[in-house]
Amino acid sequence: MTPIQRYLPATCAFLLLTSFASRGVAAIKLVDDRQITVHSHTDVEAERARLINYIWGNGGYPHDLMPVVRKGVASPVDGLEELKRVDEFTLPMLPGLEGLANHYMPQHPNGELVILHHGHAETFNDGPARQKKGYGMQQTIKALLLNGYGVLTVYMPHRRPGDAYNGGQTHTKMFEENVGGGPMKFFFNTLVAGLNFIKSRGGSDDSAAYHDFHMIGLSGGGWTTTVYAAIDPTIHCSFPVAGSIPLHLRSGASVGDREQWEESFYRIAGYPDLYVMGSTGPGRRQIQILNRHDDCCFGEKQHDAAAAGKGYDEALQGYAGRVQSAVREIGPGSFRLVIDEISPSHMISSHSIESVILPELRKARKQ
């Protein structure tokens, strides 16, 4: 059994929007997050500390959390060029709940690591984005390796097949666990453990040394990118793709899984606050990418203009403008919203890779 086969059958990214559709979303109370509450570095640090306390409790950010490591495994993704080696990271979290990540080391490293988070789907070995197949994961990894970036791929936490937590309610069940620091930590611990290991091994004979860290995520991985960039200022460039919009613009089944709307969490920081926190700081920038023709999440088809009181473009540019103003007020840093007009579906398109992500990463290297 391969590492991928240990995880849920294809709980495709559509679960992001549909898991609560059958339950009736009227009972879900969404935080009104249209107001930005962070206006200074002091505000950012205070809100970041509150989020970290919410996720991990009084112990704070788990710098000593380490994964179980298997070095030199077969690549889970086909057709990769400029690949030196792949290591597998696993992290036992609860009975039947195990985190999984893979570290792809480039043949010619440029000293930078990109975390790539898929979200709800089970494999990074999809079709080439140029063929408009899959979610663009294989194409993204290939492009990053060709440009010298190390890649840490991270999966959403899932219960193993046969466990009672299988199916669309997996994440809801995790919120019922009585664990120290709260269940939100399960969405970040695998990522944190992988980074801890990589940073601790930097410069050794068997691990690449990295001086800059970036993050890309699709769907639930875009949500993870948004939240993690807000709490970890070592993430320089972040690219959440089709991962979130502010709660005050959501309606119907579009509210997403519980981690996307949990009231006690977003009372601390709404999405516009998270965007600001993920963008501010020296050398930091966040480029949020939404696909206009998305067939799943946060595209024009999913927008309820009547509920929002404005059309798709006006609604998106409205919150993006407020975030940009807040980032400029705090400074330094930058936030930008990109609407991908070319992507045909729920994916990281070749257009976004070649015209947005790689140019922004190159720009960051020159600063």
Please spell the DSSP secondary structure of 228-240, one letter per residue.
HHHH-TTEEEEEE
What is the enclosing helix (H) or strand (E) of 307?
helix 305-308
Q: Pick the residue with more confidence: 9 or 277?
A: 277
The CA distance from 256 to 298, in Å, is 10
Q: What percent of the chain has pLDDT over 90?
A: 72
The CA distance from 185 to 39, in Å, is 27
Q: Is the dihedral of CA 34, 234, 335, 246 positive or negative?
A: negative
CATH number of the domain that residue 92 is part of:
3.40.50.1820
pLDDT tier at 176 (50, 70, 90 boundaries)?
A: confident
Domain containing residue 70:
4-366
What is the per-residue pLDDT for 135? 93
Q: What percent of the chain has pLDDT over 70?
A: 83
User: Of 26-40, 88-102, 107-121, 202-216, which gets the smallest average pLDDT?
Assistant: 202-216
The CA distance from 189 to 287, in Å, is 24
Length, in residues, of the chain = 367
3-state class (DSSP) for residue 100 = strand
Number of domains in the chain: 1
| CA neighbor of 206 nearest in space, from 86, 112, 64, 75 | 86
Residue 95, pLDDT above cutoff 50: yes
- Dihedral angle over CA of 101, 168, 61, 51, nearest 10: 140
What is the per-residue pLDDT for 22? 36
What is the arithmetic mean of pLDDT over 240-264? 89
Q: Please give the biggest Cα pair distance in the chain.
A: 59
| Secondary structure (DSSP) of 169-193 | THHHHHTT---TT-GGGGGTHHHHH
What is the per-residue pLDDT for 20? 36
| CA neighbor of 187 nearest in space, from 160, 227, 233 | 227
Residue 29, pLDDT above cutoff 90: no
User: Of 53-67, 162-176, 226-240, which gets the smallest average pLDDT?
Assistant: 162-176
pLDDT tier at 122 (50, 70, 90 boundaries)?
A: confident
User: Of 13-27, 180-194, 273-287, which gets the smallest average pLDDT?
Assistant: 13-27
| Residue located via tokens 């509450």 | 37
What is the average pLDDT score of the chain? 86
pLDDT tier at 134 (50, 70, 90 boundaries)?
A: confident
What is the per-residue pLDDT for 131? 52
What is the per-residue pLDDT for 181? 64
Residue 81, pLDDT above cutoff 80: yes
What is the per-residue pLDDT for 151? 97
- pLDDT tens figures, 310-351: 999 999 999 999 999 999 999 999 999 999 999 999 999 999
